[in-house]
Amino acid sequence: MQNYQLVLTEHLNHYGYLFGGVLLKWVDEAAYICARLDHPGKSFVTVGMDKVSYKKRVELGSILVFNVEKEKTGKTSVTYRVQVSLASAFPVDDSEIFSTMVTFVCIDKDGNKCPIE
């Protein structure tokens, strides 16, 4: 799945660049949307991200593209790879700004872990 996000003033830190916590929120949301679409009727909560490393700073007005792919499905969990790049009209070899794996666990109505299938 692919998703886009425009970086606005309210997304910036005190240095004038994208606040890292905002990017993490967007990454979590993009992966969560995939989990819900891949497994209709199931509920998920985030249990982890494997690595948080920002490769480039992001300026106001940048358009980010989020590429999300399912990496692994277990009995009660599912993991997605999320890659975030700067969108551009011109292909750029090194436009990736962030990547991570996001893992979710499937829960029942009482909040207990349950099988996905």
Break the chain into its structural domains and give their ranges: 2-107
pLDDT tens per residue, the chain (117 residues)? 999 999 999 999 999 999 999 999 999 999 999 999 999 999 999 999 999 999 999 999 999 999 999 999 999 999 999 999 999 766 666 689 999 999 999 999 999 999 998
CA gap 17, 2 in Å, rounded: 23
CA gap 73, 77 in Å, rounded: 6
Model confidence, pTM? 0.92
CA gap 91, 62 in Å, rounded: 15
CA gap 93, 111 in Å, rounded: 43
- The second-level CATH assignment, the architecture, of 2-107 is Roll (3.10)
